[in-house]
A and B are shown apart, each in its own frame.
Chain A
Amino acid sequence: MRRTLIVAVTLAGLALLVYQSGLLAEAGLFANGLLPPVPIPVDNPQTDAKLRLGKQLYFDKRLSSDGTVACVTCHRPDAGWADTEATSTGVGHKRGGRNSPSVLNGGYFVPQFWDGRALHLEKQAVGPVQNPVEMDQTPEQVAHTLGGIPGYVTQFQEVFGEAPSLELVAKAIASFERTIVSTNSAYDKYLQGDDEALSPAARRGMDLFNGKGHCTPCHSGPLFSDQQFHNLGIGYQDGKFADVGRFAVSNRLPDTGAFRTPSLRSVALTAPYLHDGSAATLLEVIELYDRGSIQNPYLDPLMEPLNLTRREKLDLVAFLQSLTGEPIKGDPPVLPE
């Protein structure tokens, strides 16, 4: 009997030790949490003047070849800094092939774009300007256009000590975009101890998100993204992908049809969803995952059918809605002449 008692007390003590030591709280390879400050690259420090310049450039359609498209055209503040269209319209009414990702929290992403072809925002920002179906400009044309606007010439001198160039345009826009951060969501408040911040449905959804819904392995960390590339089979039909995604960058077969995991912060504002904008609502996306996504040779091994009930799907939507941060003003600035 004494031996039994020793065993039982030892086991209970061990449990107590594990519990009390805080190991439970520290644990969690994929735990979601509060966003840290946006990392600022040492070679592109932020100044008020640079942020003001970056915002002006973000809103300035003169950066496009026909003067009809600016960054803000496809990354609208009133649409969660994304676009309400499945794919966006560029110069000459040309259509892009992918859904415009939200600029929200873009400063945290490494790499950038759906296929990760740019490592950081400075590299990303030059892409759309030169893309023939977006803004269709050359570096020379950008320098020439901005060099003909005295207000910009003065501001570039003030900020960079140089004449306008596409590289500096990208630096200024990248700096501005780093200020577009989704914070203080109901979920953040809950994390900070406000138990009432989440509705009962959102709390159930949070448990599902981290459990039966199997969302966390990819939508992990404070950004709700592992920043990796996964194949959900979107656009796979008749044995072919409409868009090979990451494969075009990495040239690795397993990357075929894989796209970067988007952040879920403020995701309720950024419909439509998926890299081709083929899902109009969050519920549609959840339905897709519930079916185990679309079977194809390169389907991510994380994809399994979920067997979610209707109520569970709605609870997940409620949780995703709780990730919406405080509104970020995007009033158009006065542009230099």
Chain B
Amino acid sequence: MRSLLLRKLLLAAASGGLLLGILAPAGAVPIFARKYGFECTMCHSAFPRLNDWGQRYRQNGYQIPGKEREDESVSESATPVSLRAMAGFNSDKFSPDGSANVSQLQVGNVDLLSAGLVERNLGYFLLYRPQLNGSRGVVAQPGTLEMANVVFSHLAQRWLNLRLGRMEPAVAVFSPARHLSVTPYEVYDFTFPGGPAFSDTQTGLEVSGWSRTANCQWATGWLNGSDTNKDRDTPADWYARVAHVFGRGEGQTTGQRVGLVGYWGQARPLLDPDAGRQSFNRWGADASLNLGPANLALQYLRGSDNARLWGTVEDVDFSGGFAELTYQPAINLVGFARWDTVSTPDEVTRDVQRWTLGGRYYFSDQLAGHLEYSHRTQDGGVPASAQLKEDFFTARLDAAF
């Protein structure tokens, strides 16, 4: 009885937060919009997806390009704290094993963010994910400092910028943190047991830059390991990324962007820690093509992992990717459809297919209604077992304030 009351209180508190989002004035609440007095659409085509300008702002170390001298530090500007949370109905059904099925109203994806400028050309970004214990009505999440990094901008004009700390490496070209769907990009998450996912935030150092006249962007970084525990190993993984934009824009909402990415790392097999570090690599190509209100995001990725990382006889070479079409007919309405695929060798047999369809309607700058359906299949693996199927549906509110 007491726990039921607590659950109701919890939902009421979260609903209250969401209600604030509804009632809040249109003058955008989250950190940067509040700082400048901008609408969210200054940087987001549809939050959390960035538009060209938002991408440029992020690359510029959270300073408005060309106005770095005017930009205020966090000590001068509005409170640099934001909260993001989702609440709604989730249905997640698995077969053949339905023991993890979910079908209920839930609150989750709670993030607390702080970001801004310490001083000119020195920015920071913090993302804290408070611990939530999974129970009825609450989606579990471990308490983590998901991101904590500083950005030194304009070390050599726009050609050289440095990001240091726990961050989202540039390898995840279509940022999982800023994509529209709830379901993940499968190929980013596909890895050997205990291995790193492209969608993980990691600790390291990244240098990046761009040239407006050459229409190119580049980044390279060193990460503090991708071992069986991705954050606590000494070998430094290395990655590189280069992209070119045809036409004007950054390729987010205008221009046609094509890019290449490579990642080289070492990891200790989870199944055989004494085997020493084994190498793996990823490389891929991507494109972000824009035509008016439509964007087609394409990602192709190949991976090659040492056999010991998988516990197989042969090295495991896999490939995969996704094609995601986003269509935004109005500033407050966006739809998306995505196909994910991962192909694995016969020895592993963990092929993945996912179809996702969804849409978001923005009630205000701070509040979006989100509908999404996704069907996923995954081969059972070795030894061969039944194909795993998942049907996911969600109808939720996504609030940021």
A28 and B14 form a contact (CB under 8 A): no
Residue numbers in B under 8 Å from A12 (CB-CB): 13-14, 16-17
A4 and B10 form a contact (CB under 8 A): yes
Q: Given A4-B132, A18-B81, A307 and B65 touching (CB < 8 A)? A: no
**Chain B contacts with A in 223-263, Cβ cutoff 8 A:** 248-250, 253-255
Confirm or deny: B88 has a beta carbon within 8 angstroms of a beta carbon on chain A: no
CB distance from A87 to the nearest CB of B (A): 28
Interface size on A (CB < 8 Å)? 49
Confirm or deny: B79 has a beta carbon within 8 angstroms of a beta carbon on chain A: yes
Residue numbers in B under 8 Å from A305 (CB-CB): 52, 248-249, 253-255
Chain A residue at minimal CB-CB distance from B112: A11
Confirm or deny: A151 has a beta carbon within 8 angstroms of a beta carbon on chain B: no
CA A305 to CA B401, docked complex, whole Å: 28
Q: Given A4-B138, A12-B16, A24-B29, A292 and B254 touching (CB < 8 A)? A: yes
B81 and A14 form a contact (CB under 8 A): yes
CA A24 to CA B248, docked complex, whole Å: 34
Cβ-defined partner of B10 (8 Å) among A5, A14, A208, A295: A5
CA A24 to CA B26, docked complex, whole Å: 10
A8 and B13 form a contact (CB under 8 A): yes
CA A24 to CA B24, docked complex, whole Å: 9
Residue numbers in B under 8 Å from A1 (CB-CB): 3, 6-7, 133, 135
CA A69 to CA B25, docked complex, whole Å: 50
B401 and A211 form a contact (CB under 8 A): no
Tell which of B38-46, B95-103, B188-196, B367-375 binds the partner.
Answer: B38-46
Q: Given A1-B3, A18-B81, A11 and B130 touching (CB < 8 A)? A: yes
Tell which of B70-78, B274-282, B301-309, B334-342 binds the partner.
Answer: B70-78
A29 and B77 form a contact (CB under 8 A): yes
Q: Which of A292, A305, A309 has the most CB of B within 10 A?
A: A305
CB distance from A22 to the nearest CB of B (A): 10
Tell which of A262-270, A296-304, A329-337 binds the partner.
Answer: A296-304
B293 and A2 form a contact (CB under 8 A): no
Residue numbers in B under 8 Å from A19 (CB-CB): 20, 24, 29, 401
CB distance from A137 to the nearest CB of B (A): 39
Q: Return the CB mask of B272-293 against A: 1 if under 8 Å, else 0.
A: 0000000000000000001011
B65 and A302 form a contact (CB under 8 A): yes
Confirm or deny: A291 has a beta carbon within 8 angstroms of a beta carbon on chain B: yes
Confirm or deny: A207 has a beta carbon within 8 angstroms of a beta carbon on chain B: yes
**Chain A contacts with B in 1-55, Cβ cutoff 8 A:** 1-5, 7-9, 11-12, 14-16, 18-19, 21, 23-31
Confirm or deny: B56 has a beta carbon within 8 angstroms of a beta carbon on chain A: yes
List A residues at the B interface (Cβ < 8 Å). 1-5, 7-9, 11-12, 14-16, 18-19, 21, 23-31, 207-208, 210-212, 214, 216-217, 226, 230, 291-292, 295, 297, 299-302, 304-307, 309, 312
Knowing that A9-B10, A14-B112 touch, tell me 14 more A-B residue pairs with CB under 8 angstroms: A8-B110, A9-B9, A15-B83, A19-B24, A19-B29, A29-B77, A208-B41, A211-B41, A212-B45, A301-B56, A301-B65, A304-B254, A305-B248, A307-B293
Interchain residue pairs A-B with the least CB separation, the first 6? A28-B37, A211-B39, A211-B41, A27-B78, A31-B37, A301-B65
